[in-house]
Structure 1
Amino acid sequence: MPSDDTDIDRKALWVVRELGLPAIVKGCVSCRCTRHHPTGKFRVNANGKLLDVWLLICCEQCGGTSKIPVHERIHVRALDHDRLVRFENNDPALARRLVMDAALARRASYRLDWHGTWQLETDMPFYELDREDAPLEVFTRFELPAPVRVEQLLTAGFRLSRAAVKGLVGAGRIRLPMAVDARVREDFSFQVRSASRAKWRGSDR
């Protein structure tokens, strides 16, 4: 988003830190529990020239193992050799990425529970928001693609109530590249404008 405040010299970095991988919510084949955790392992099964590849997950309650289909009946030549080797070697980076893959979750009919997987770290103390003469640009970086509501980030980062955050957005103090109630999972930046600048812009509406 282009800046109306050309003299922004205060910048802050907010980081959505990873605390853990999301839980996989699907029915267990052995008990009534619906929460699973990744094992970090794959199973590859060959039937002639066709391959099946599954991501293995573990039930939180009974410890039973379930399979999430990653590739089904794919021709061996259609699967990149390096990717196949990574499956066979239980590559941790590939397993981590697939655990958080929203498209795979939709395709395999389960959902991801991101509760408790992240926390926000900020290098900007709350009191700086009260400095009316100093606009600020905040860069928000995600260590994992957790879908977090923008409003939740702002209330945590500024230590304000939801009503106060919405009031600042409505008054033009906080300028966002998306709606305040949107969910984000990728890096973005936003601006906090001085009170006098926000009032001046508001008079033009």
Structure 2
Amino acid sequence: MHIDRKAQWVVRQSGLPTIVRRCPDCSSTRHHPSGKIRVNANGKLLDVWLLLSCDGCARTSKAPVHERVHVSALKPARREAYEANSPAMVCELAMSASLATKNGYRLDWAGTWALETDTPNPALDGPGPLTVRVAFELPALVRLERLLMLGLGLSRPGIRRLVAAGRVQLPVPVDGKVHQDFEFTVAGAAPAGLGRLVEAPRPVAQQVRQDMLALAAER
């Protein structure tokens, strides 16, 4: 009798995304939040900016958050967080896709996350299907293929072979990107003929590392 198995993966935050925009003073396009938010009051109207620092020359620039907004339009707690340079608020603004779109820059999520898993061992040869729930601590765009490589300990060809054989059932294409909570299923023991060929034996460990480096370069 097969027993349904469950596992929880969590994409943990390990850093803030790089803000990609051209610096007018140097050739760099890489910026990070300075940790400060500037608030300027003109009567009852407020301007709020997230301050950014260029990685190349340390030039400070501003990303508008609110422009000429009436003070009553902001909740007191949010206004106070702006004025206090709240680290949580800086983090929220730095990760905001809508703010990035509004200001015409791109967020680079490379190096901002790590995968934590409680996948049973072995995941591929258990007595029944394994349902994996993936939760995100941050709205990072993650390549699904890379996520599976890290979580299942397989090379890129191994992951693709599992998907092609129907042993891994995904809600989106394996070469797509994910940024919200989702679930996928891994079938139980391999059917005859497939065996352990999809697993990454020790001699392939170097290839797995190369695959991961290639994926990181694509990000």
Q: Could you state the TM-score of these two structures normalised by the residue count of structure 1?
A: 0.84
Percentage of matched positions with identical amino acids: 54
Task: Output the CA distance in 2 between the equivalents of 1:17 and 1:181.
Answer: 21
Letter in 2 for 1:31: C
- In the other structure, the counterpart of 1:66 is 61
SS at match of 1:129: coil
Letter in 1 for 2:179: R
* Cα distance, 1:7–1:130 mapped onto 2, change above 3 Å: closer
- In the other structure, the counterpart of 1:133 is 127
Root-mean-square deviation (Å): 2.2
2:52 to 57, 77, 91: 57
How many residue pairs get aligned? The number is 191
- In the other structure, the counterpart of 2:165 is 171
- 5+ residue gaps, structure 2, are 195-219
Counterpart contact for 1:150–1:180, Cα < 8 Å: yes
Counterpart contact for 1:29–1:66, Cα < 8 Å: no
SS at match of 2:12: strand
SS at match of 2:88: helix
1:122 to 103, 117, 122: 117
Alignment of 1:11-30 (within 5 A): 11-30=6-25
- 5+ residue gaps, structure 1, are 200-205
- In the other structure, the counterpart of 2:204 is none
Cα distance, 1:132 vs structure 2: 5.4
Cα distance, 1:192 vs structure 2: 0.7
- In the other structure, the counterpart of 2:27 is 32
Counterpart contact for 2:124–2:186, Cα < 8 Å: no
SS at match of 2:158: helix
Letter in 2 for 1:110: Y
Letter in 2 for 1:7: I
Cα distance, 1:74 vs structure 2: 1.2
Task: Output the CA distance in 2 between the equivalents of 1:55 and 1:67.
Answer: 6
List structure 1 segments (4+ residues) > 6 angstroms apart after TM superposition: none
Cα distance, 1:23 vs structure 2: 0.8
2:82 to 62, 71, 87: 87
2:93 to 90, 98, 107: 98
Counterpart contact for 1:147–1:183, Cα < 8 Å: yes
Letter in 1 for 2:122: E
2:181 to 160, 163, 187: 187
Q: Could you state the TM-score of these two structures normalised by the residue count of structure 2?
A: 0.79
Of stretches 50-59 and 174-183 in structure 1, the one that deviates more from structure 2 is 174-183
Of stretches 145-154 and 174-183 in structure 1, the one that deviates more from structure 2 is 174-183
Cα distance, 1:129 vs structure 2: 3.3
Letter in 1 for 2:119: M
SS at match of 2:127: coil
Counterpart contact for 1:33–1:59, Cα < 8 Å: yes
Cα distance, 1:150 vs structure 2: 1.1
* Cα distance, 1:163–1:48 mapped onto 2, change above 3 Å: same
